Amino acid sequence: MNERLMKTPEITPPTLTLRYPELGTGPISTDAYWKPEFYAQELEAIFKRAWLCVGRVEQAAAVGDFFVKKLPTFDMSIIVARGKDGTLRAFHNMCQHRGNHVELRAQGHCVGFTCPFHGWTYGLDGKLVGVPDAQGFFDLDKSTLSLKQVALDIWEGFVFINLDPNPCQSLVEFLGTHGRDLEGYAFERGTAVFEYEGTINCNWKCMIDSFCETYHVPILHKHSIKDTLAGPDNPHGRLIDIRLKTPHRTMSVWGNMAYQPNPVQGLAFKYAPGPSITSGAVDENSVLPKGLNETRAPNWSIDVSAFFPNWLIVMGSGMYFTHQMWPIAPNRVVWQMRGFLRPAQNAAQRFGQENSMVELRDAVLEDCNTLERIQSVLDQGLLKEFLYHDHELGLRHQYHVVKQWVDDYAKARA
C-alpha cells in the first residue's frame, strides 16, 4: 500500500443511522415542511416551550446595560437588562398601561425604562416606579404592575429565554449532555462580531437541514468550499461523525488537510487573528472541549452543533458563528447569521477578518436558491417523501424530534 493511502484517514462508512434504530431508515413524510396546520402546532408545542438563545452576556455586561431582541416568529420584542443587583432579567417589551414598547433602542445603557406614550417608568428589575398623574387612576396597585418577566438562564455566556411562564425543564436539563460536552470552549474570545440577516422563502427546518449535512458540498458548493470540506480523499462529502444528544445533535465535518489556498485566501489565513474555518488550521493553544470533534479525528475542520429548536453553532478551533432560524410562516424563515471572530491585534488582521466574513457569506448564500426551489415544490404538494442518505442522519433526527415534541404536547393537552 502506498504511503499516502496509509496516511489517509478512513472515511466514515454508511452506518451512522444504524446506531439509532429508533429513527428507522425509511423515507420521511414532507407534511411537516409545508402544512400550515403542522406549523401552527410547532409554534405552540416547540417555540413557546423550548429554550431559545437571544444573545450573549457581553451585550449587557454592566449594571444598566440592556439589549432588545426581536423574535420574528411572534413579532415579539424582549428586553434583556442587567439590574442593580448584577442579575440579568428578561421582560416583554410592553407597558402595563396600554401595551406600548417601553424601550425602542436595540441596545444601550439606562437607569430604567420609560414608556414613550404616557411616561410610565420601570426600574431595571421591571418594577413600576412612576406613573404620571397617578391619582387619576382607580385602585392603582403599582406592586402588581411590573414589566412581565420572561424566564431567563445562561449557558457559556449565551442568554436563553423561555416563553413558557413555567418551563417544563431548566436550561441545564434542556441542554443536557449536549451543553455539558461543549462547556469550556473559548466563546468569550470571539469579540469581533458581525451579523447578517435575511428572509428566505423556505420552511425553518429546511434551512437548518442545509447546515446539517455535507453530502451536498461537492456538488452545490463546487466553486467554493468543495476542496476544503470535501476533496479528493472525501469525494462525496461524508461527515466524520454525528452524535445525537436528543433533542440536540452535533455533526463533525471532515477537512482537507492538504488543501492549498488561493492567493487572497492564503493571505487571509496568514493574517487572521485565529485559525479560519476553511483553513484546516487548528489553534494549538485552545483546549477543545470533549464535545468538539469528539472522535478526535485528525482530518477535522468544524463541528455543526444544533441546539433544538432553532439555533446552530458552527465551531472551529479559532472562530465560530451561529445561525438562528425564526419561522414566520410555514414557508418563510428569518435567518440570522452571526460571526464571532477573535479580535484583530493589528491592522493586517482586519483584512483576514474581512475575508473570513466574505467567504462565509458567499458560501452560505449558495444554499438559498436551492432552498427556495425546494419549498415551491413542497408547497405544491408534489413531493411526498424525503429520502435520507446515512450522512443526512441529522435531518432525519430533526424531523423525529420535532414530531415528538408536537405529538407529546398534543397528548398532554388531550
Partner 1 sequence: MAKNQQTHRLKFAAAQLERDGARRPRCWYRHLDPSDGDCYAENAIGVHPHNQAQQTPFQEIPLARRKNHDELPEPFSGLDKWVPDWALPDSTARFKKRRCTSLAEIRAFYDALLPQADAILKYLSTRQLGTLTPPEGKLLKLMLSLAEMGPAIEWYGTENHPEAFDGRRFPLVVTLADMSPQPGAHT
Interface map 362-381 toward partner 1 (x if CB under 8 A): x--xxxxxx-----------
Among 13, 165, 232, 263, binds partner 1 (CB under 8 A): 263
Q: Interface with partner 1 includes 194 (CB under 8 A)? A: yes
Q: How far is the CB of 368 from partner 1 (least distance, A)?
A: 4
Q: Interface with partner 1 includes 195 (CB under 8 A)? A: yes
Q: Interface with partner 1 includes 262 (CB under 8 A)? A: yes
Name the amino acid, one letter, at 167.
P
Q: How far is the CB of 362 from partner 1 (least distance, A)?
A: 5
Among 46, 152, 192, 257, binds partner 1 (CB under 8 A): 192
Site for partner 1 in 210-249 (CB under 8 A): 220, 223-224
Q: Torsion over CA of 15, 16, 21 and 26, rounded to 10 degrees? A: -80
Q: Which is nearer to partner 1, 94 or 192 (CB)?
A: 192
Among 40, 104, 110, 264, binds partner 1 (CB under 8 A): 264
Q: Interface with partner 1 includes 59 (CB under 8 A)? A: no
Q: Interface with partner 1 includes 104 (CB under 8 A)? A: no
Q: Interface with partner 1 includes 345 (CB under 8 A)? A: yes
Q: Interface with partner 1 includes 259 (CB under 8 A)? A: no
Residues 6+ apart with CB under 8 A from 29: 384, 385
Q: Which is nearer to partner 1, 176 or 343 (CB)?
A: 343
Name the amino acid, one letter, at 396.
R
Name the amino acid, one letter, at 1.
M
Q: Which is nearer to partner 1, 177 or 191 (CB)?
A: 191
Half-sphere CA count of 108, side-chain side, radius 13 A? 9
Residues found near partner 1 in the complex (CB under 8 A): 189, 191-200, 220, 223-224, 262-265, 267-268, 270-271, 335-338, 341-355, 357-359, 361-362, 365-370
